[in-house]
């Protein structure tokens, strides 16, 4: 009797083992759920009927079928991260462009002529506003065809923005080519006196002041008097006495020599109107 009971138990265990894979397979085989339904324990989507009163269903879908918007930041904290490298050139690219610029010697660059596409890009770069910052490849393009731009008066300021003033040879070469450049307009000369060229050598400002002294009339100086007086503040970085500052000296000379009362008194009023710090004295000589 005991042996028969043992065999019966073994038969039941074998039968249960044979049925187990089919049950597991039915429970683990997923089926695609319906668009609006609820998944059952064996992976089959069971449809859900919307409530009759028009309220939202258990799945959060209103009667119209449009799902409610989900907020991804309900329980999250937001942090503002500032990237200090934004707007700066890559050091590896700077080294690459510096090496490429060093290969463009003065003798080799004189023979370079831009093609139609490069000429179109140069024309668009020359026409850029003074406040636009050129990219490294754009500065390299202007420097590469610098001899082809000597006849364009507006291109002088763009060329001087492309000069690496930390390189003595490049700075000296820029001075030589600037002396042969076509005379820029009065408005372009004002850019050479502004904040973009504060770190440039003193000869850049002196070149602009000499051009103003030779070409600007009293009426033109009066028309540009306010930005000219504001540009006097950038002469503080020059290692010269304040009374020898080139731009301030030019304005004082014209005011003293002019018989026009407007040109004589306008520098004083423009100096008073120029924005400056609370403890900043008026420009020297004014």
The listed range with the strongest mean pLDDT (22-26, 86-90, 130-134, 211-215) is 211-215
Q: Specify the pTM.
A: 0.55
The rounded distance, in Å, linking the Cα atoms of 168 and 65 is: 73
pLDDT for 140 equals: 85
245 versus 16: which is more confidently predicted? 245
272 versus 189: which is more confidently predicted? 189
pLDDT for 263 equals: 60
The rounded distance, in Å, linking the Cα atoms of 158 and 191 is: 10
Instruction: Encode burial over 60-80: b for 16+ CB neighbours within 10 A, e otherwise.
Output: ebeeeeeeeeeeeeeeeeeee
Average pLDDT, the chain: 74
What digits encode the pLDDT tens for the residues 4-54? Answer: 776 777 777 677 666 555 444 444 444 544 444 444 444 444 455 555 555
- The mean pLDDT value for 79-101 works out to 72
Q: Residue 153 corresponds to which tokens in the numbers above?
A: 């008066």
Predicted confidence band of residue 125 (pLDDT cuts 50, 70, 90): very high
The rounded distance, in Å, linking the Cα atoms of 273 and 286 is: 12
The listed range with the strongest mean pLDDT (89-93, 140-144, 237-241) is 140-144
270 versus 175: which is more confidently predicted? 175
Closest CA to 170 of 153, 188, 146: 146
Instruction: Return the percentage of the chain with pLDDT > 90, whole number.
Output: 11
Residue 110 pLDDT exceeds 60 = yes
pLDDT for 33 equals: 46
What digits encode the pLDDT tens for the residues 151-183? Answer: 898 999 999 998 888 888 888 888 988 988 988
What digits encode the pLDDT tens for the residues 58-89? Answer: 445 555 555 555 555 555 577 777 777 776 76
The half-sphere exposure of 195 on its side-chain side, counting CA atoms within 13 A, is 2
Predicted confidence band of residue 261 (pLDDT cuts 50, 70, 90): low
């Amino acid at each position: 009797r005991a042996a028969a009971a043992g065999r019966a138990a073994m038969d039941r265990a074998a039968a249960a083992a044979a049925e187990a894979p089919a049950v597991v397979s039915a429970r683990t085989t997923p089926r695609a759920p319906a668009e609006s339904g609820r998944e059952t324990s064996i992976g089959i989507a069971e449809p859900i009927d919307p409530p009759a009163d028009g309220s939202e269903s258990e799945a959060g879908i209103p009667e119209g079928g449009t799902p409610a918007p989900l907020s991804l930041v309900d329980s999250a904290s937001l942090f503002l991260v500032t990237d200090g490298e934004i707007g700066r050139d890559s050091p590896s690219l700077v080294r690459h462009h510096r090496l490429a610029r060093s290969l463009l010697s003065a003798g080799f660059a004189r023979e370079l002529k831009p093609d139609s596409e490069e000429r179109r890009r140069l024309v668009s770069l020359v026409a850029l506003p003074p406040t636009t910052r050129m990219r490294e490849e754009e500065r390299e393009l202007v420097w590469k065809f610098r001899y082809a731009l000597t006849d364009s008066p507006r291109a002088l300021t763009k060329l001087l923005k492309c000069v690496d003033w930390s390189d003595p040879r490049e700075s000296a070469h820029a001075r030589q080519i600037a002396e042969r450049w076509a005379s820029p307009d009065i408005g372009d000369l004002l850019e050479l006196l502004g904040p973009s060229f504060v770190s440039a050598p003193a000869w850049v400002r002196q070149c602009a002041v000499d051009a103003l002294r030779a070409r600007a009339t009293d009426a033109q100086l009066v028309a540009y008097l306010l930005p000219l007086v504001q540009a006097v503040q950038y002469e503080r970085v020059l290692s010269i006495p304040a009374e020898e500052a080139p731009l301030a000296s030019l304005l004082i000379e014209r005011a003293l020599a002019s018989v026009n009362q407007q040109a004589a008194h306008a520098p004083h009023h423009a100096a008073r109107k120029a924005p400056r710090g609370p403890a900043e004295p008026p420009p020297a000589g004014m």
